[in-house]
Amino acid sequence: MKKNVIITGSDKKYYPFLNNLVNSLNKTNCLDVCDLCILDVENDSEYLKELENKISKKEKAKFSLDIKFEDKKDWFKLLTERPFMKDYFPGYEKYIWMDADTEVFSLDGIRNILKACEIKDLAIAPEINESYVFKNNKFGIKKIFKSFYKISGWSFKNYKKYFSDDLGENLFFKPLFNNGVFCMNSDSNIWDLWKTEYQNALNKAKTSYGIKTDQLSLNKIIYENFDKISILDSTNNWIISKSEKIKKIDENYYTPSFPNRKINVLHYTNLSFNDNFIVEENNVDKKISIKK
């Protein structure tokens, strides 16, 4: 058993992503640094047997929070159980969560995440980068009439709906931290704070629409406990759908902005496994398939 662990999981639909992530962790020697554990969220999960020689342990996930709406799906556990990771897999010093739709291209990514968590409780990257601006065409201010504008946007609306009006207004101009990749120390009180805030949000959820308040509840805690947060560089959780394109040199990916910095972890959120993304290679734009 190693000191630190990477935890992930998927349902059958997203298994191609999960398999891709596990292979990337193995290829980049990340499994020499961390154990790999899997949250098993479905009753029938024979597909996970293919990964048994690469993982340290898997555990059947249950719903640890009280969910009042009826339209529950198994994959919801991949959200609800993140605050409970250390309860499923006790004994580690640091817990890294990685969404199944991430891919690691360099061991530096995992090393950076662990290093960032040495002096603070939680290491996590915001959804901001100078290159993301080219795709940010839906900023949350809507023109009503002449110089009158209305604040809108998914985060603002749901901060107000599931938490409070004040929170939505206070956090509107602050970046959203993406919990698809993060690291937290085992002894942090943020675990319990997150459980409480997520449960409070779910208490207000009349439908499964509220299940995604996992990220908003964590962001609320982040801004209330900012002295405990290490901000990860976006190269350690690069959200591909937010960037117009990235640069490819040899077998590595780099930021499109100068100086081009190596991207350690790609995050394919909002993409399907058969989708392509655009890279610039030798000054020519090319489509690259996620599917290997």
Residue 67, CA distances (Å) to 24, 78, 202, 210 in order? 34, 14, 6, 10
Enumerate residues 6+ apart whose C-beta is below 8 A from 198: 65, 80, 83, 213, 214, 217, 218
Whole-angstrom distance, CA of residue 38 vs CA of residue 60: 9
pLDDT of residue 148: 53
Question: pTM (2 decimals)?
Answer: 0.94
Question: 3.90.550.10, 3.30.70.141, 3.40.50.2300, 3.30.530.20: which CATH number matches 4-130+176-236?
Answer: 3.90.550.10
Using only C-alpha atoms, the chain has a radius of gyration, in whole angstroms, of 19
Give the CA angle between residues 169, 142, 125 to the nearest 5°.
Answer: 50
CB 186 within 8 A of CB 94: yes
Q: CB–CB of 32/65 below 8 Å?
A: no
Distance between CA atoms of residues 79 and 236, nearest Å: 21
Measured between alpha carbons, how far is 123 from 151 in angstroms, rounded to an integer? 29
Contact between 83 and 69 under an 8 Å Cβ cutoff? The reply is no
Averages of pLDDT over runs of 10 residues in the chain (292 residues) are 97 97 98 98 95 96 94 95 98 98 98 97 96 69 55 74 85 90 98 98 94 96 98 97 92 94 97 95 93 80
- Please state, as a whole number, how many other Cβ atoms lie within 10 Å of the Cβ of residue 285: 10
Q: What is the pLDDT of residue 259?
A: 93
Q: How far apart are CA 163 and CA 80, in angstroms?
A: 17
With residue 202 as reference, give the H or E element that holds it: helix 190-203
Q: Which residues make Cβ contacts (< 8 Å) with residue 134, sequence separation at least 6?
A: 243, 244
What is the per-residue pLDDT for 169?
A: 81
Dihedral through CA 15, CA 290, CA 215, CA 187, nearest 10? 70
Residue with tokens 């993982």: 55
Residues of the chain with CATH 3.90.550.10: 4-130+176-236
